[in-house]
Amino acid sequence: MNEFGLIRSFFAHQPVQRADVATGIGDDAAVLDLPPGCQLVVSTDMLVAGVHFLPGTEAQAVGYKALAVNLSDLAAMGADPAWFTLNLSLPAADEVWLRGFCEGLFGLAGRYGLQLVGGDTTRGPLTVGIQIAGYVPSGQALLRSGARPGDGVYVTGQLGDAALGLMCLQGQLQLADSDRVRVIQRLERPVPRVREGQALRGLASACIDVSDGLAADLGHVLDASGAGARVELAALPLSPVYQGVHGRTGWDPAVAGGDDYELCFTVPPRHEPAVVERMRPFGGVRRIGVVESAPGLRLRDPSGAEYRPQADGFDHFRSP
Ligand code: ADP
Ligand code: MG
């Protein structure tokens, strides 16, 4: 199959057809209508085989996750996702692999009404780059820079299961089969918190998605906001599986593990009741700490002692 046959067979026809796509795949660029009174929100994220996923990861999981991590970035901005482009580098035009990849990719795209509007396809090491775009009402994007002393610090969902999943795949943790399946699912099929992010518009003072670990990502919010925070480890939302292995793994998977794709956000006291109310349909949120004026993140364990994670957040270019 040649390049154009491949694009035609796998990417030209797709489930979602949005009315705001004036021109999609097939021209030199896409032409898109932005709703009046909105700002464009754009992000991109790349998955490289051997770096972001283990070689041999099933194609469906790669297609799903490549889009999920991008959706998570728009979720963290409180945006409505609408369109994406796909840069694909493939070692070979493997049709079985491509079919699985498209199943994972378009399955998730369909759930959020996202349309693929262009891309680029080349031969090379397996790499999936997605650029995603969406919009927010002007001035309402959730930024990292708005946290103020006294604001509550919150997270959605549960932390650390994805890191436990990675430990299972790497042979560092043994779990019962059903638990193992569950945490690997959390690693390979994160659910982007898109509706939660939208619900936080007008209420949260800052927001980020937890991709590199809570300490690292909350640290980015605090740096951007010129503030610090205190977080109570006892308040971290941990799954039953995590609670069962906590004695073996400690706090690090929840504090420094990556790939959870939950939202971490701050809320001024006057908005806290409304946030709790608005997040109830999504399974609720957990208040884990408070923003303080002294810079730095202070983690307190249940005994009241300060806790320092053994690992930092993931950094591709960290010096050895
Ligand atoms: P150009 O030479 O202008 O870069 P291409 O031949 O690379 O165009 O692509 C032809 C059309 O197919 C373009 O509209 C491009 O956006 C689209 N396309 C190419 N690869 C992909 C892909 N992996 N996913 C979606 N659309 C793609
Ligand atoms: Mg091209």
Check residue 35 and report its DSSP letter. Answer: P
40, β-bridge pairs: 135
Report the C-alpha gap between 57 and 252 in whole angstroms.
Answer: 25
Measured in degrees and rounded to the nearest 5, phi and psi for residue 299 equal -100, 130
Ligand 1 center–CA 30 separation, angstroms? 10
Does residue 120 have its Cβ closer than 6 Å to ligand 1?
yes
Does residue 121 have its Cβ closer than 6 Å to ligand 1?
yes
Q: What pLDDT score was predicted for residue 318?
A: 67
Residues of the chain where predicted confidence (pLDDT) is lower than 70: 312-320
What's the distance, CA 169 to chain centroid? 20
Ligand 2 center–CA 185 separation, angstroms? 34
Atom of ligand 1 nearest to the CA of 24: 14
Ligand 2 center–CA 34 separation, angstroms? 24
Q: What pLDDT score was predicted for residue 12?
A: 86
Does residue 31 have its Cβ closer than 6 Å to ligand 1?
no
Does residue 11 have its Cβ closer than 6 Å to ligand 1?
yes
Contacts of 53 (CB under 8 A, 6+ apart): 47, 61, 62, 65, 188
pTM score = 0.94
* Shortest-distance ligand to the CA of residue 4: 1
Measured in degrees and rounded to the nearest 5, phi and psi for residue 96 equal -65, -45
Report the C-alpha gap between 228 and 153 in whole angstroms.
Answer: 11
Residue whose entry in the numeric block shows the structure tokens 């097939």: 26
DSSP string, 185-239: HHHHS----HHHHHHTTTT-SEEEE-SS-HHHHHHHHHHHHT-EEEEEGGGS---
CA–CA distance from 107 to each of 135, 155, 300 (Å)? 22, 26, 41
Ligand 1 center–CA 24 separation, angstroms? 10
Residue nearest ligand 1's atom 8 by CA:
28
**Tokens at 77, concatenated:** 């901005």
Q: Does an H or E element contain 121, and which?
A: strand 115-123
Does residue 93 have its Cβ closer than 6 Å to ligand 1?
no
Q: What pLDDT score was predicted for residue 218?
A: 98
Report the C-alpha gap between 298 and 210 in whole angstroms.
Answer: 17
Q: What is the dihedral of CA 44, 46, 52, 55, to 10 degrees?
A: 150
Residue nearest ligand 1's atom 14 by CA:
26
Ligand 1 center–CA 137 separation, angstroms? 30
Measured in degrees and rounded to the nearest 5, phi and psi for residue 120 equal -150, 145
Q: What pLDDT score was predicted for residue 85?
A: 98
Q: What pLDDT score was predicted for residue 179?
A: 98
Q: What pLDDT score was predicted for residue 310?
A: 82
Measured in degrees and rounded to the nearest 5, phi and psi for residue 308 equal -115, 120
Q: What pLDDT score was predicted for residue 3?
A: 85
Q: What is the dihedral of CA 85, 91, 97, 102, to 10 degrees?
A: 0
Does residue 117 have its Cβ closer than 6 Å to ligand 1?
no
Neighbour order of strands in the sheet with 228-232: 206-209, 263-267, 152-156, 285-292, 228-232, 296-300, 306-307
Does residue 150 have its Cβ closer than 6 Å to ligand 1?
no
Report the C-alpha gap between 171 and 36 in whole angstroms.
Answer: 52
